[in-house]
């Protein structure tokens, strides 16, 4: 027994050393000619890059920092984006639809159990933010107030860019003018495109082909309702991964990251919707304060998923280098 233990430990050390050599050197020398092993090698390379990048970038700390900023910048960001939509001719009529869409898809439905003295039931965080954003307009807050809101929104975008640059290993920042153009494009084009897509959705739903399919093809309408949020998330995250880092990101690599992160994000929204409607509302320990920890956890996990998708995009782009 005394002789076998050192032998076992020696074999274990040898295998660990071989595995380390394979991961650090052999895996990156060349790709096999056969298709199956070549795909496996690329997947292993991506896995190594994702794990190394996740640890090196300290994604958990980045997510916590961005969560803290979102608490202060979410409403200003929505106000600025919606002010743009309502100010553009032809889209002002769908501004309310954009607002409802953003709140519905950015925030899960978070409802707390009714607190004592609140006969109307629990509070809905999305509805509270919706009411606040609806009551804010450029005339009411004035030029100085709007500039303050704009500064808060841009500060959040700057922090997001810095987090993405850290993942991509970029130490240089965009020139001030270019940064302003990118951020302003994000704040203006994204809600306008979203408004256009919502208008197009209404057009498609009134189209005779869509009506015929929903009438004659079983479950077509339900399938569209299930798939549409995922498609929107994939497109949104792909744009995020392409334009936010201060480097050239291949759209294909960005889409790979968006496919994983967007799917995970939408799946998490489904889980949280179920949790908040079936679990949180049945426990009155927190009362109306139950929305706060749930919202913070939601934002934190969302940033972990988004930054993980950025790591996947980075790995997909550098898998052959």
Q: Which residue has the higher pLDDT, 207 or 58?
A: 58
Residue 151: name the closest of 214, 76, 262 by CA: 76
**Contact yes or no for 253/313 (Cβ under 8 A):** yes
Q: What is the pLDDT of residue 119?
A: 41
CB neighbours of residue 117 within 10 Å: 6
Residue 230 has phi, psi (to 5 degrees) of -65, -40
Q: Number of helices (H) and strands (E), helices first, in the chain?
A: 11, 0
3-state helix, strand, coil in the chain (%, to 5): 80, 0, 20
User: Predicted confidence band at 205 (pLDDT cuts at 50, 70, 90)?
Assistant: low
Q: What is the pLDDT of residue 141?
A: 63
Looking at every residue in the chain, the average pLDDT score rounds to: 75
Q: What does the pLDDT look like over 256-307, one tens digit per residue? A: 999 999 999 988 888 877 776 766 655 555 555 666 777 788 889 999 999 9
Inform me whether the pLDDT recorded for 33 exceeds 50: yes
User: Predicted confidence band at 14 (pLDDT cuts at 50, 70, 90)?
Assistant: confident
- Range of weakest confidence among 2-16, 130-144, 294-308: 130-144
Inform me whether the pLDDT recorded for 127 exceeds 60: yes
Inform me whether the pLDDT recorded for 140 exceeds 50: yes
Q: What does the pLDDT look like over 210-266, one tens digit per residue? A: 666 677 776 776 677 678 778 888 988 998 899 899 999 999 999 999 999 999 998
**Contact yes or no for 262/309 (Cβ under 8 A):** yes
Q: What is the pLDDT of residue 193?
A: 64
Q: What is the pLDDT of residue 219?
A: 74
Inform me whether the pLDDT recorded for 102 exceeds 80: no
3-state secondary structure (DSSP) of residue 111: strand
User: Predicted confidence band at 124 (pLDDT cuts at 50, 70, 90)?
Assistant: low
Q: What does the pLDDT look like over 46-88, one tens digit per residue? A: 888 899 899 999 999 999 999 998 888 877 777 777 666 666 5
Residue ranges of domains in the chain: 60-318
User: Predicted confidence band at 118 (pLDDT cuts at 50, 70, 90)?
Assistant: very low
Inform me whether the pLDDT recorded for 101 exceeds 80: no
């Amino acid at each position: 027994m005394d002789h076998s233990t050192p032998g076992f430990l020696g074999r274990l050390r040898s295998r660990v050393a071989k595995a380390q050599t394979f991961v650090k050197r052999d895996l990156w020398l060349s790709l096999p000619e056969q298709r199956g092993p070549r795909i496996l090698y690329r997947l292993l390379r991506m896995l190594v890059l994702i794990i190394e990048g996740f640890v090196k970038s300290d994604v958990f700390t980045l997510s916590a920092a961005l969560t803290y900023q979102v608490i202060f910048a979410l409403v200003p960001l929505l106000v600025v984006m919606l002010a743009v939509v309502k100010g553009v001719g032809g889209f002002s009529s769908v501004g309310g639809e954009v607002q409802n869409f953003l709140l519905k898809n950015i925030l899960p439905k978070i409802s707390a159990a009714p607190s004592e003295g609140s006969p109307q039931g629990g509070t809905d965080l999305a509805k509270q933010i919706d009411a606040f954003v609806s009551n804010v307009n450029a005339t009411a807050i004035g030029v100085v107030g709007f500039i303050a809101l704009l500064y808060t929104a841009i500060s959040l975008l700057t922090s997001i860019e810095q987090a993405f640059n850290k993942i991509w290993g970029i130490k240089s920042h965009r020139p001030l003018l270019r940064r302003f153009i990118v951020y302003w494009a994000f704040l203006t084009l994204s809600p306008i495109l979203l408004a256009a897509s919502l208008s197009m959705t209404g057009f498609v739903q009134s189209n005779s082909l869509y009506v015929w399919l929903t009438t004659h093809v079983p479950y077509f309408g339900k399938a569209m309702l299930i798939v549409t949020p995922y498609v929107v998330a994939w497109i949104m995250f792909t744009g995020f991964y392409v334009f936010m880092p201060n480097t050239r990101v291949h759209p294909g690599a960005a889409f790979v990251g968006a496919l994983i992160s967007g799917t995970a994000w939408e799946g998490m929204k489904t889980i949280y919707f179920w949790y908040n409607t079936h679990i949180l509302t049945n426990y009155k320990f927190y009362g109306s304060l139950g929305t706060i920890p749930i919202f913070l956890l939601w934002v934190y996990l969302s940033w972990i998923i988004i930054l993980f998708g950025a790591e996947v995009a980075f790995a997909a782009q550098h898998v052959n280098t």
